[in-house]
Chain A
Amino acid sequence: MEFFDCNCEIGVLTQPPLAPAVGPEALVQEMERVGIERALVRHACQIDESPIVGNPYALQVLAPYDNLLPTWSILPPQCGELGTVDEFITAMSRAGVRALWAFPSKHNYLLNAETFGELFEEMIARRIPLFLRSTEQSGSLRGWELCTDLLRQFPQLTLILVGHGSWGTDRFFRPLIERYPNFYVDTSRYELEGGIADFCRTYGPHRLLFGTAFPYTSMGGPMLTLLHCDMPDDYKAAVAAGNLARILQEVQL
């Protein structure tokens, strides 16, 4: 079964994880150990330094690796740091970047229509996915409230919430899955016993994306959980790689 990891990070952070992965070599080595073929990758430089520096740096360090796909981070277009919306989308197209991240906690902005309306409407039209960590905060909103607020404002946005937590979050994300057709969660911390199979029995296999949260979390746990969960192989294949591949293929740049 092919595994395509939607949630990997490399680089140097002000507060590193227990086992940091500074360069792409560490990621590739771990993927080979665990049996993960491809990964969508963000660079810590995009988070702790700036997307202005980190977006091009991610392209540079990931360029030698065909199986590591770079992602970029967004900033409020009003300050012009990443260009106008048109310029930013054009740059994405030239660079082959097909997915974006928002880090409102570190980057100090409100993740809402006033700030990102123009960009998100363009992303919806072009089916560009936005990734968001479950720990992010924007103003007074954080976690599930932030996620819900964003989806209320942009119900057609392809939003992928990652790292939704191991201590019971189905009661938070299932209502959003039912209401918003382009909302997804990753499996990096979907440790709930029987959770993946139970979710897929209820909603089908197309709303979960395989992720590992490398280098914060062990890759082996999410991989073995999906590989042996109690559901058909075609469901597993969709979660393991098919869904993410489809989402990226549907991006129009």
Chain B
Amino acid sequence: MVDSQLAAEFVARGRSAACPVIDTHAHYGEFCGIYFPHPHAEQMLGTMDRAGVRICIFASHMALVDPRRGNELSARVCAEHPDRFRCYLAINPNYPDQVAAEVARAESMAGFVGYKFLSDYYQYPITGDRYKPALEHAEDRSLAVLLHTWGGSQFDGPALWEELATRYPHVTFLMGHSGYGEWEKAARLARDIDNIYLELCAAYSVRGVIELFCEIAGSHKVTFGTDLPWFDPHYGIGCVLFADISDEDRHNILHRNAERIFGL
């Protein structure tokens, strides 16, 4: 078995008190293309307890489509479970007349910690002007922004990251899925640009990716996420635990970096 106290503990018990996992990329509720056994709060809490996930930071699926309804839902879940959930406010740039109003209410939302952009789905680039009110707010308040990112994408691929991150130097950008597929480029950007972080959701399953990120960018630039209720936290945690890295790296990825970024 791998030489890791953490791995041994998770194998034996499914969780570790010394490693309270923080999920920096999650969702909530039903979605169009998938059957979810456990899409709601009480079910997600059961899953989080089983896997030792202390806090889940999410944008509801509804918010990704219709922010006016969905951001309300996200805030309601956070208000009901303030110790376990935080939320990203979602912006749909294809309804530009709604963006300013959503940004205006961000600070009053329970659990609000930053923004989530799903640009591939909107087919609107992360560098586009319609995100500007949200990004300026995030810049003023030094907030985090979670971006869906995918290798080769003209809307959110690594080719766009530097321009965005240098334009808003006080925003912490979590690159969701780590620019899936453009691994080395993503890792180099995270190494070279202070406010770019690699978020592991889905990327973790690719054997060798975690080692590559730790080698190039350092484990202090990697955060953990699961797309919950999409992916079982144990799947991603298992990928981190059995990667060829140190327990210090595993702690950084699974909780310490998120604790620092979000003040948790």
Contacts and interface: CB of A to CB of B under 8 A. Distances in A.
A227 B226 CA distance: 18
Nearest to A230: B50
A83 B183 CA distance: 44
B239 A195 contact: no
B234 interface: yes
Interface stretch (B34-42, B66-74, B112-120): B34-42
A9 to B, nearest CB: 11
B interface bracket (residues with beta carbon within 8 Å of A)? 35 or more
A215 B232 contact: no
B186 interface: no
A219 B183 CA distance: 19
A221 B38 contact: no
A216 B207 contact: yes
A140 B50 CA distance: 44
A173 B229 CA distance: 20
Interface of A: 17-19, 32-35, 166-168, 170-171, 189, 191-198, 214-225, 227-230
B209 interface: yes
Nearest to B236: A221
A218 B232 contact: no
B11 A227 contact: yes
B241 interface: yes
A9 B144 CA distance: 40
Nearest to A219: B242
A192 B36 CA distance: 7
B4 to A, nearest CB: 10
A218 B2 contact: no
A194 B232 contact: yes
Contacts of A219: 207, 242
